[in-house]
């Protein structure tokens, strides 16, 4: 290389580097700050929370009821018990053709509250009545004596007696355990007791040498009873 060329090369001024601009290196965009929730937004959030809690409580109550009732139709379990029905006064009656009661003996006849044509079970008995009658089965003999006694489950009793060739007794006895506000299954223990105290004899034959002994007497009774039963059931149960 010549001296002139070397000098020119040595005098060459380097080209300055271009200045960097901010446009070539943009800043990362930052998300705009969220605005605070408005009053309406806060209110709606509270309502959603409130109704959500209510919904959970309702579901828990329904689930507890279903499982406690064995399904009660929803899960195919046992049916729920029927609603309590109002208890109302009802009555019933039947006739009793009593067999012979032997002289100097007592026969007991338990009161029957469920006759063959009853449409509902009888319970909660609060009164029983017995209308009894008898006639000497051997006319002309000496007077007979009969006693009728009605007994309730509490051990209370009422009795009437009669003497002659016929007689009757009308007995009414209440239960102290059953009231309009207190129900008790007390159908057991009601009894009609019939006693033939004496059956007179009769002299027969020539000169009264033969004696006919009266062995006892038969009787009839009409039994009536009152009880508290469910409305809708038959209000009269009777057997003629």
Q: Residues 211-224: pLDDT tens digits?
A: 667 788 999 999 99
pLDDT at 107: 96
Q: Which pLDDT band, with edges at 50, 70 and 90, does 238 fall under? A: very low
Bridge partners (DSSP) listed for residue 88: 229
Largest CA distance in the chain: 203
Burial class (CB in 10 A: 0-12, 13-18, 19+), 91: middle
Q: Give me the residue label for tokens 């208890």.
A: 87
Confidence (pLDDT) at 172? 97
Question: Which three-class secondary structure state does DSSP give residue 55?
Answer: helix
Cβ 202 vs Cβ 111: under 8 Å: no
pLDDT at 30 over 70: no
DSSP 18: P
- As a whole number of angstroms, the distance between CA 134 and CA 9 comes to 165
Cα 197 from Cα 194, distance rounded (Å)? 9
Give me the percent of the chain exceeding a pLDDT of 70.
58
**Does residue 60 carry a pLDDT above 90?**
no
Looking at residue 3, its pLDDT comes to 53
Q: What is the pLDDT of residue 219?
A: 96
């Amino acid at each position: 290389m010549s001296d002139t060329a070397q000098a020119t090369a040595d005098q060459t001024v380097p080209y300055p580097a271009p200045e960097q601009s901010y446009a070539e290196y943009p800043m990362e965009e930052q998300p705009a700050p969220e605005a605070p929730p408005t009053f309406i937004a806060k209110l709606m959030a509270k309502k959603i929370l409130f109704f959500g809690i209510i919904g959970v409580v309702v579901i828990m109550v329904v689930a507890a009821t279903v499982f406690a009732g064995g399904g009660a139709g929803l899960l195919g379990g046992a049916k729920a018990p029927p609603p309590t029905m109002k208890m109302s006064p009802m009555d019933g009656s039947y006739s009793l053709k009593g067999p012979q009661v032997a002289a100097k003996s007592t026969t007991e006849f338990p009161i029957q509250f469920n006759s063959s044509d009853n449409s509902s079970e009888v319970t909660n008995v609060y009164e029983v009545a017995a209308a009894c009658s008898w006639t000497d089965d051997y006319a002309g003999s000496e007077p007979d004596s009969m006693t009728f006694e009605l007994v309730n489950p509490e051990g209370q009793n009422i009795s009437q007696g009669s003497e002659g060739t016929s007689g009757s007794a009308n007995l009414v006895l209440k239960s102290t355990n059953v009231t309009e506000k207190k129900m008790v299954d007390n159908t057991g223990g009601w009894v009609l007791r019939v006693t033939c105290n004496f059956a007179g004899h009769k002299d027969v034959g020539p000169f009264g040498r033969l004696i006919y002994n009266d062995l006892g007497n038969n009787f009839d009774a009409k039994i009536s009873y009152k009880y508290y039963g469910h409305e809708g059931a038959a209000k009269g149960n009777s057997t003629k």
